[in-house]
Chain A
Amino acid sequence: MSDFDTEDRLRFEQLVLPHVDAAFNLARWLLRSRADAEDVAQEALLRSYRFFRGFHGGDARAWLLQIVRNTCYTWLEKNRPMELNMEFDEELHLQTCATPETLAIAGDDRKRLTLALETLPPRFREILVLRELEGCSYKEIAAITAIPIGTVMSSLSRARRQLHSALVDSPQGARP
């Protein structure tokens, strides 16, 4: 332990650790599993700590979420490559993962929404999570996901439409 380590750790604790919730939430939705998300979020946090010297101020949450996202995709590539390959076959994905029946069986609206959200391709799912759950601005989303702001808008639009139709397709999906 040297002096700088202590100072870095203090800075890390002040700037980055407040965003552990955000890290876990994003990982949980990208991986669709709490247990896996805990492992990957932990790995991402340690990785961010190791490279903390590369962070020169700015948006610590966006910086951390970028690392979480990359760690998630690396994990998915290694453990569930099929999931990433399916992302452009939206219709098939919708049919296989969340039929109206499975959505209807899911009791309350939270379960219905969870299932519907989990049927979306990861890249649409993450953008909705960042915007609707995390409250990120377009600029932050662009930084985290490494896509241009214009693409953020169109991706959000497609993601919202897909989620909407996944919910409406379910007999009990549309709310009274």
Chain B
Amino acid sequence: MRCDFADSLLQGYFDGELSGRRAAEFERHLRHCVHCATELVDLDLLRDRMQLAQLYEPATAALRRRINAPLRAIAPTKAVSRPLVWHWLAAAAALLFVSILLWRVGHGVRGDDYQAELAGEIVDAHVHSLQPGQMNGIASNDERVVEGWLEGRARFAVPVRNFASDGFALKGGRVDVIEGHAVAVLVYERNRRPINVFIWPTRERDSPPRTGSLQSFQWVDWRKGKMEFCAVSDGSPVDLEQLRQLINSFA
């Protein structure tokens, strides 16, 4: 025989889901309802038994890997359009990603944690760059000002040119640190879209341009005069190639 409360208050009491007042009421009921008192003990035994048996089955490492890998490739469904400043920051994050990628490829770094490390660094740098006053950059269209600013921070001379007359207006520069190395970044604007050019010293010989795209971003990478350049934007690859030639003719 079961008490009318067995399917409701008894469960709530056992699971600690009753308010103090209702729990006290039920305790008064328990004192003279042998059915509920017995069932409460059964419930408790069952719970103990389930816990002792350790039925919980956590995800395997293989499943975690399977889940993590595709997340890198999928973007959540797009929301509303954002203010222009986001584009700038978005480009910065994407550029950093590409530059790290190239850096890694260039240095032949590989490993199991490659993806995870890469993502970690991007996210860290990205979050860091979002902090107010943490952009580490100078906004100026003056070649000398930008060059002087970079010289003091990048520890290598960076050729800075404003190609405004060719449609690539210099907006400024900044320094990023990737894997402990300072990398100079020149920021240009073309048709209101930012183009970032990452520059760092290399021991390798000059090389012809390599191009590629990542998500919606285009990049072109080349080496000249013991410097490596990587230009990235979400604009047209033709623009990138034009800027590359302008820089090359001058570097």
Interface residues of A (CB under 8 A from B): 1-10, 12, 17, 20-21, 23-25, 28-29, 34, 38, 41-42, 45-46, 49-54, 109-110, 113-114, 117, 131-134, 137-138, 150, 153-154, 156-158, 160, 163-164, 167, 175
Q: Is the interface of B mostly helix, strand, loop or mixed?
A: helix
- The answer to whether A53 touches B77, judged by C-beta atoms less than 8 angstroms apart, is yes
Q: Which residue of A lies closest to B42 (CB)?
A: A164
| Given A4-B86, A154-B7, also A109-B49 (CB < 8 A) | yes
Q: CA A132 – CA B60 in complex, angstroms? A: 21
B76 touches A8 (CB 8 A): yes
CA distance A4 to B49 in the complex (A): 47
Q: How far is the CB of A159 from chain B (nearest CB, A)?
A: 10
B8 proximity list for chain A (CB < 8 A): 150, 153-154, 157
A134 CB to closest chain B CB, in angstroms? Answer: 8
We find that the number of chain B residues with CB closer than 8 angstroms to chain A is 54
Q: Is the CB of B71 within 8 A of A9?
A: yes
* Given A38-B63, A45-B71, 10 more pairs with CB closer than 8 A: A1-B216, A2-B215, A5-B75, A25-B56, A25-B58, A109-B53, A113-B53, A132-B47, A153-B12, A154-B11
- Contact, CB under 8 Å: B97 / A1: yes
Q: Which chain B residues have a beta carbon within 8 Å of chain A's beta carbons?
A: 6-8, 10-12, 15, 17, 42-43, 46-47, 49-60, 62-64, 66-67, 70-71, 74-77, 79, 82, 86-87, 89-90, 92-94, 97, 119, 122-123, 126-127, 214-217
Are B71 and A12 neighbours in the complex by a CB distance under 8 Å?
A: yes
Residue of B46, B49, B123, B217 touching A6 (CB-CB under 8 A):
B123
Chain B contacts of A38 at CB under 8 A? 60, 62-63, 66
* B15: A residues at CB distance < 8 A: 131, 138, 156
Closest A residue, CB atoms, query B17:
A138
Q: Which of A21, A25, A46, A156 contacts B74 (CB 8 A)?
A: A46
Could you tell me if A3 and B90 are in contact, using CB atoms closer than 8 angstroms? yes
Residue of A nearest to B62 (CB): A38
**Complexed CA–CA distance, A21 and B7 (Å):** 30
| A41, B63: Cβ atoms closer than 8 Å | yes
Q: How far is the CB of A125 from chain B (nearest CB, A)?
A: 11
Contact, CB under 8 Å: A3 / B59: no
Bound-state Cα–Cα, A2 to B245, Å: 27
| Cross-chain contact A157 with B63 (CB below 8 angstroms) | no
Would you give the shortest CB distance from B216 to chain A, in whole angstroms?
A: 8
Chosen A-B contacts, 21 in total, with CB atoms closer than 8 Å, are A1-B215, A2-B93, A3-B89, A6-B126, A10-B123, A24-B63, A25-B57, A25-B58, A46-B67, A46-B74, A50-B74, A109-B52, A113-B49, A113-B55, A132-B47, A134-B56, A138-B15, A153-B8, A160-B11, A164-B42, A175-B49
- Give, as a whole number of angstroms, the nearest-CB distance from A71 to chain B: 13
On chain A, the residues within 8 Å of B214 by CB distance are 1
Pair B75/A24 contact, Cβ less than 8 Å: no
Kindly state the separation between the CA atoms of A29 and B42 in the bound complex, as whole angstroms: 23
Q: Name the A residues within 8 Å of B7 (CB-CB).
A: 153-154, 157-158
Partner of A163, one of B46, B75, B122: B46
Instruction: Give the nearest-CB partner of A158 in chain B.
Output: B7
Q: Which residue of A lies closest to B43 (CB)?
A: A160
